């Protein structure tokens, strides 16, 4: 029995697969003070970028792809509460490895990007869970 293939769904699946591969194996950097992902000259990544019609490097949005400390554009590598008293912190932040290491010390909270503060303000005060659709 022949299956009907929905080519638009298949194209979307391929796009998502290529994006997943790029985000797993691509190289992160900063260009013009903005986060980017690039191929570093690896041919499989170059082909994936080309298939998606992405420039190399490809600019990323700051929100969701960078550390949430003001002025830092490094890749977020950890999600954590800031500070030595982590359990008492209401803010759950995405931090780069440098700011994560700082978060382990008894240092005051550095300035945090507004979009992260806005997101954290939406957490349930009892469960500390974000509402559906907020990430």
The contact pattern for Zn ion, residues 47-86, with x = CB under 5 A and - = no contact, is --------------------x-x--x-x------------
Comparison of 19 and 80: residue with beta carbon closer to Zn ion: 80
Please give the Cα distance from 105 to 107 (Å, whole number).
5
The H helix count followed by the E strand count for the chain is 4, 5
Residue 108 has φ and ψ, to the nearest 5°, of: -65, 155
Please give the Cα distance from 133 to 65 (Å, whole number).
17
Taking the complex as a whole, the smallest distance from the CB of residue 101 to Zn ion amounts, in Å, to: 10
Tell which positions 14-53 bind Zn ion, by CB under 5 A.
none
Taking the complex as a whole, the smallest distance from the CB of residue 98 to Zn ion amounts, in Å, to: 5
The yes or no reply on residue 93 touching Zn ion (CB under 5 A) is: no
Length of the chain: 135
The contact set with Zn ion (CB under 5 A) reads 67, 69, 72, 74, 96, 99
């Amino acid at each position: 029995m022949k299956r009907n293939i929905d080519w638009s769904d298949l194209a979307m699946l391929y796009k998502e697969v290529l994006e997943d591969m790029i985000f797993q194996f691509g190289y992160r950097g900063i260009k013009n003070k903005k986060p980017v992902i690039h191929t570093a000259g690896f041919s499989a990544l170059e082909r994936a970028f080309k298939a998606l019609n992405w420039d190399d490097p490809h600019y990323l949005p700051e929100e969701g792809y960078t550390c949430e400390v003001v002025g830092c554009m490094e890749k977020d590598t950890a999600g954590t509460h800031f500070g030595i008293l982590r359990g008492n912190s209401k803010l759950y932040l995405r931090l780069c490895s440098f700011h994560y290491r700082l978060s382990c010390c008894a240092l005051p909270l550095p300035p945090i990007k507004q979009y992260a503060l806005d997101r954290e303000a939406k957490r349930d005060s009892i469960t500390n869970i974000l509402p559906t659709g907020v990430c």
